[in-house]
Homo-oligomer: A and B are copies of this chain.
Amino acid sequence: MPADSGPDAPDTTRPDDDLRADGENAGQEKAGEENAGRENAGEENLVEAFWAVARRLRHGTRVALEPWSISPSQSRALGVLIRHGEMRLSSLADHLRIAPRSATEVVDGLQELDLVERRPDPADRRAVLVVPTPHGRSTADAIHRARAAEGERLFATLTPADRADLSRVLRKLHD
């Protein structure tokens, strides 16, 4: 199962993506199926155009991240840990929205890959802090770069004016 980590990592579960229906996934079904038999219709078309671009970007990113062989949940966890520097296991579970029991095993896996280590929490000796290792950081960084490069490949096809427009509009939508 190809892996990913760090912020904005794509879903790497299924070939051209994950568990969902058309559109928002990364081209789950065969290419060219989107909007088959459906006419453009104002707002709806804007939504579908957006997801079509999302699929392209996700697919490219997924391919680009295949060399890193950590599981999706491990890479999500690593991404959270990279951003926070260190984190208690219970907090990690909260951030990942999984049960603490599950987080124990995700961290076990990351530890086996030498991507994180468990350290005692000086503030509470019952607790452990999960900390990315240097290897974990460099792995996450490499993955992040690969994804950024992939995005650049797509957006580089735009003129500077178009990029500025897109950036402006995306910021409005995001805020």
**A142: min CB distance to chain B, Å:** 14
Cross-chain contact A10 with B23 (CB below 8 angstroms):
yes
**Residues A144-175 near B (CB distance < 8 A):** 147-148, 151-152, 154-158, 162-163, 165-174
**A63: min CB distance to chain B, Å:** 13
Q: In the bound complex, what is the Cα–Cα distance between A151 and B76 (angstroms)?
A: 26
Produce 1/0 per residue, A28-51, CB < 8 A to B.
Answer: 111001111110000111111111
**Residues A7-35 near B (CB distance < 8 A):** 7-16, 18-26, 28-30, 33-35
Cross-chain contact A34 with B22 (CB below 8 angstroms):
no
The yes or no answer to A132 lying at the interface (CB within 8 A) is no
**A139: min CB distance to chain B, Å:** 12
Specify how many copies of this chain sit in the oligomer: 2
Closest B residue, CB atoms, query A50: B170
**A66: min CB distance to chain B, Å:** 13
Closest B residue, CB atoms, query A91: B30
Instruction: Count A-side interface residues using an 8 Å CB cutoff.
Output: 81
Q: In the bound complex, what is the Cα–Cα distance between A173 and B50 (angstroms)?
A: 9
Closest B residue, CB atoms, query A163: B46
Cross-chain contact B19 with A19 (CB below 8 angstroms):
yes
Cross-chain contact A47 with B8 (CB below 8 angstroms):
yes
Q: In the bound complex, what is the Cα–Cα distance between A17 and B8 (angstroms)?
A: 13
Q: Chain B residues near A78 (CB, 8 Å)?
A: 21
Q: Point out the residue from B7, B22, B52 that lies within 8 Å of A38, measured CB to CB.
A: B7
The yes or no answer to A79 lying at the interface (CB within 8 A) is yes
